[in-house]
Structure 1
């Protein structure tokens, strides 16, 4: 499956080309891992790439969605990023009802390896790959930037490296043991999203919760980070991004944090936050991946 022919591309907004349902990893006894790929208008140069991980509390969601704030948008956010000269791969990963952590990170790493292995065929630069995610997907993007080879896993293609050159996380959880208390919930509740990811409440499995928390993997060699979060977030407190920002800054990592006063989770309640978050993301990716400007 990792070497299967690519599906035909179909035209999207602004000259963007879209490949849907590309197989990027096989799992015995489980559904195949797939991604959707948005490629910038045809060019003779290799484009940088950002890999997007959807939200849904590790329990719901799919590669087809980026949150309700952008429902019906035309061009959609992925097309906007591709129009700016940056290819986008939106990938699926196993949900917590299918497997517990670290399966989700192993799937994310499999997507990086597959994309890097077939980069030239896709017209993307294997040395300019970033990670971007929202909520649970932001957590995975953060781990891709921080966790290192120890949590790579063996899903899908083997060989290519899984490092990324930049990370964007929207309202992502970075300290799983504190998610419940930050949200004024019961840390022993077995039905929380993080408990279902870990197979038990985080406080009951402290070693696994620590392994699954980006905050515990911070190091001085981390790539640049952009953290965006709403102060009114009821599900993942903005304190999660503030802690990660402080830890990265303490290690002299290039990190930026922006908080939106009126924005709830998924930018609900603040359409301007949704617009600004996407703009900041495109600007950050362009800066750190050195993307060429789109032709006028």
Structure 2
């Protein structure tokens, strides 16, 4: 096949591809990046009502132990909400982008973090068309997605105004709860490509507690006190490190809540969401 037909058949590059028609104010499956030999990287967008100038942005990062998950899933306790959590965030005046990233069965760290950086780059590039102000970006993630969102917010090159982090790992170097850094079969090991104890530099690079700096944006860390998968000491350790660096941080623990807010009453989960949204709004107002 000649080069000309090949170039015509290929899908348009995400930098110039036409945006889908909104239906209504939700864009599904928008390609934002290409990975050689891999699947296209896509995101979903919830856009607020037009007419109030460029909207601040929430970049949401889904959980799933870095190995599974859906970009438009905020977790077990929000799946039945109607309207859903992203529609609620958009109703508060934000644009919401829920981005794919490569999972640990596809590529090892730092691939998923690179993908989220690419999503931010694409959103900045297409911001005028979308009516989005990426200079006011809050990253929001849960579980493994909260871990990646923390790293993204701590990247001095990322345009993060702040971070909302739910029950996320913060340290891949020391044992906490069920995590054993010497095991090659944990989700953390699958993310890194080896037992964390055998690749200490990589494990440290993937640990938010080791990436803290004094210019970090404000963090809200929320964690269940009875979390059996990712102990609350992860958020406590990150909060301590941020305070020591002089960076702003709020830590809120939820009594009786396990991972994913399992075991917490509905009204408590609703208040966690509202607290998180208030925090995000306060950063961009």
2:254 is matched with: 260
CA distance in 2, matches of 1:216, 1:274: 30
Structure 1: distance between partners of 2:188 and 2:263: 24
Aligned to 1:174: 170
Which residue of structure 1 lines up, in the alignment, with residue 43 of structure 2? 35
Within the candidate set 272, 288, 296, 2:283 is matched to 288
Runs of 5+ consecutive residues of structure 1 not aligned to the other structure:
12-16, 150-161, 291-296
**CA RMSD across the alignment:** 1.1
Please state how far the C-alpha of 1:43 moved relative to its aligned partner: 1.6
**Structure 1 partner of 2:21:** 8
Residue in 1 that maps onto 2:210: 216
User: How far does residue 279 in structure 1 lie from its aligned partner after superposition?
Assistant: 0.5
Is the partner of 1:106 in helix, strand or coil? helix
| SS class of match (2:173) | helix
Q: TM-score, normalised by structure 2?
A: 0.92
Deviations 1:183-218 (A, max 9, x none): 144432221110100011111111100001111111
Structure 2, unaligned stretches of length 5 or more?
Answer: 1-13
Which residue is equivalent to 1:81? 89
How far residue 272 of structure 1 moved from its aligned partner, in angstroms, is 3.3
Aligned-partner SS, 2:89: helix
* Cα distance between partner residues in 2 of 1:189 and 1:202: 8
Deviation track 1:72-127 (CA, whole Å, cap 9, x = no partner) reads: 21010000000000111001100000000000100010001110111111011121
Q: Is the 8 A contact 1:170 1:228 kept in 2?
A: yes
Structure-2 residue corresponding to 1:137: 145
CA distance, structure 1, for counterparts of residue 96 and residue 62 of structure 2:
13
**Contact between 1:2 and 1:26, CA under 8 Å: does it hold in 2?**
no
Distance 2:236 2:283 in 1: 22
Q: TM-score scaled by structure 1?
A: 0.89
- SS of corresponding position for 1:23: strand
Aligned residues, how many?
271
CA gap 1:63/1:184 in 2 versus in 1, 3 angstroms: closer
Contact 1:232 1:264 in 2 (8 A): yes
Q: Secondary structure at the match of 2:114?
A: helix
**1:84-99 to 2 correspondence within 5 Å?**
84-99=92-107
3-state DSSP class of the match of 2:160?
Answer: coil
Which has the greater radius of gyration? 2
SS of residue paired to 1:277: helix
Q: Is the 8 A contact 1:22 1:36 kept in 2?
A: yes
Partners of 1:147 and 1:214 within 8 A in 2: no
